[in-house]
């Protein structure tokens, strides 16, 4: 019984040890089938980017394609025990490549900041992959897109097996570029941003040449000691234009449509040695239709009226200014008295007609001014908006010639511009990715 329990215990401990120490139990190996799928996805991103004229997305797809090839080479060169030992890093690299392709799948909604940050992570992982029995080669470089503004020195990280010991040289526009050898699988080319020609509005590609010795020297093969096999490769960089994009803001303004008309009103009565105020109002149908007394016109020009009947002892005194409102006013009649042959006093009568101006004010939306401007890479642009603003639509045109209409708090494509909307302004803040 004790022997049986001992045997079970040994078996359990052995199983736990194997599971805890061998990544092969929990991680799926990277196969050519998986890499082929990633390869196809990357080529699909490139093809759709070319069809859409999206130079940045195309450059990202090409860079991912190189990362997939580097991972494939690392998988093939890691054999035996080494393959088990490196399975963890290979798997993490593949998972990040898959994540990058998922983000780049939708060219319209992709955030360049997120993609390029993840691409930098992939580049670092590729630099840490094992490259066994492989000649020096350029597999990946970062960054691949550059903006005109920023520090004068741009470090370009070049990753590949044995690059640091391959006697590398880098040139740009036929001039030598200073390089640093940080690791065996990485060198850093220090480009001078001031030597690069950035167009005003169009992106363009430029090549940076790297030359290195691919010869493999083996100590037990003397004929290889002094052999050289220098080759040159181009690292293509995308130089973005000085203008990140331009905007056009089509505004709509709140306005009032005024209509005017005159109506005739009459006032009449009788009295003796007194005055009387008669209320003047628009007709009920006019009131229901939105017509009001034109107060401004009456203040400026006064009320037009005349006496059309009655006695000489009564008169039309006019509008009582203190009572004037958009809904109506009072008209004053003034009475004296009539005296008969016996000396008796009696009422006097008067009849007046007047022309009353009306106004109908209807709120409407009209076209406002269209405001335009350019957005650079390093400064906020704040555009003031006109008063009485009802709404607006921002037409944003990026350097890749694609135009986007933003009529609400829409996320700007590629995450390159942050828009802040105020009551009387719109602010555009450029947000170039940090690894540019």
Q: Which of 426, 365, 432 is CA-nearest to residue 394? A: 426
pLDDT (tens digit per residue) in 214-273: 776 655 555 555 566 788 999 989 898 999 999 999 999 999 999 999 999 999 999 999
In a domain, 5, yes or no: no
Instruction: Tell me, yes or no, whether 37 and 127 share the same domain.
Output: yes
pLDDT (tens digit per residue) in 58-98: 878 888 888 888 888 888 776 554 455 567 778 888 888 88
Instruction: Tell me, yes or no, whether 79 and 175 share the same domain.
Output: no
Q: Does residue 425 surpass a pLDDT of 80? A: yes
pLDDT of the residue at 227: 63
Last residue of a domain, which of 97, 115, 133? Answer: 133
Structure letter (DSSP) for residue 30 = P
pLDDT of the residue at 255: 96
Q: Which of 71, 114, 65 is CA-nearest to residue 91? A: 71
3-class DSSP assignment, residue 389: strand
Lowest average pLDDT, out of 78-82, 179-183, 401-405, goes to 78-82
Distance of CA 412 to CAs 114, 207, 280, 362, 375, Å?
Answer: 13, 30, 59, 37, 14
Last residue of a domain, which of 347, 362, 377? Answer: 362
pLDDT (tens digit per residue) in 297-306: 999 999 999 9
In a domain, 16, yes or no: no
Instruction: Tell me, yes or no, whether 125 and 63 share the same domain.
Output: yes
pLDDT of the residue at 120: 78
In a domain, 280, yes or no: yes
pLDDT of the residue at 230: 85
Whether the predicted model's global pTM rises above the 0.75 cut: no
Find the domain containing 101 and state its range: 21-133
Domain count for the chain, please give it.
4
pLDDT (tens digit per residue) in 268-306: 999 999 999 999 999 999 999 999 999 999 999 999 999
């Amino acid at each position: 019984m004790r022997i049986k329990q001992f045997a079970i215990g040994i078996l359990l401990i052995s199983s736990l040890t194997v599971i805890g120490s061998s990544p092969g139990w929990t991680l799926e190996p990277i196969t050519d089938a998986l890499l082929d799928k990633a390869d196809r996805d990357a080529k699909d991103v490139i093809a759709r980017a070319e069809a859409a004229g999206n130079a940045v997305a195309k450059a990202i797809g090409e860079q991912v394609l190189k990362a997939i090839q580097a991972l494939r080479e690392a998988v093939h060169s890691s054999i035996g025990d080494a393959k088990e030992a490196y399975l963890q890093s290979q798997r993490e690299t593949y998972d990040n490549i898959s994540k990058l392709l998922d983000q780049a799948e939708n060219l319209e909604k992709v955030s360049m900041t997120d993609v390029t940050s993840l691409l930098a992570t992939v580049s670092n992982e590729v630099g840490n992959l094992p490259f066994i029995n492989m000649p020096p080669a350029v597999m990946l470089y970062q960054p691949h897109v550059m903006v005109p503004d920023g520090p004068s020195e741009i470090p370009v990280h070049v990753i590949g097996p044995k690059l640091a010991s391959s006697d590398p040289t880098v040139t740009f526009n036929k001039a030598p570029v200073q390089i640093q050898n940080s690791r065996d699988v990485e060198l850093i080319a220090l480009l001078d941003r001031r030597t690069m020609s950035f167009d005003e509005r169009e992106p363009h590609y430029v090549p940076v040449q790297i030359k290195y010795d691919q010869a493999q020297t083996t100590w037990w093969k003397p004929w290889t000691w002094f052999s050289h096999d220098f080759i040159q490769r181009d690292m293509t960089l995308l130089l973005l234009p000085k203008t990140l994009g331009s905007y056009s803001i089509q505004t709509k303004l709140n306005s009032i449509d005024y209509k005017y008309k005159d109506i005739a009103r009459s006032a009449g009565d009788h009295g003796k040695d007194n005055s009387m105020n008669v209320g003047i109002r628009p007709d009920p149908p006019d009131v229901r239709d939105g017509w009001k007394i034109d107060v401004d016109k009456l203040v400026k020009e006064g009320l037009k009226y005349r006496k059309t009947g009655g006695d000489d002892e009564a008169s039309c005194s006019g509008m009582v200014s203190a009572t004037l409102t958009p809904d109506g006013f009072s008209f004053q009649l003034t009475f004296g008295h009539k005296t008969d042959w016996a000396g008796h006093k009696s009422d006097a009568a008067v009849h007046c007609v007047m022309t009353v101006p009306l106004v109908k004010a209807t709120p409407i939306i009209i076209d406002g001014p269209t405001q335009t401007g350019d957005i650079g890479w390093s400064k906020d642009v704040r555009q003031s908006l006109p008063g009485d603003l009802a709404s607006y639509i921002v037409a944003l045109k990026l350097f890749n010639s694609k135009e986007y209409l933003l009529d609400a708090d829409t996320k700007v494509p590629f995450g390159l511009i942050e828009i802040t909307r105020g009551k009387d302004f719109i602010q555009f803040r450029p947000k170039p990715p940090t690894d540019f």
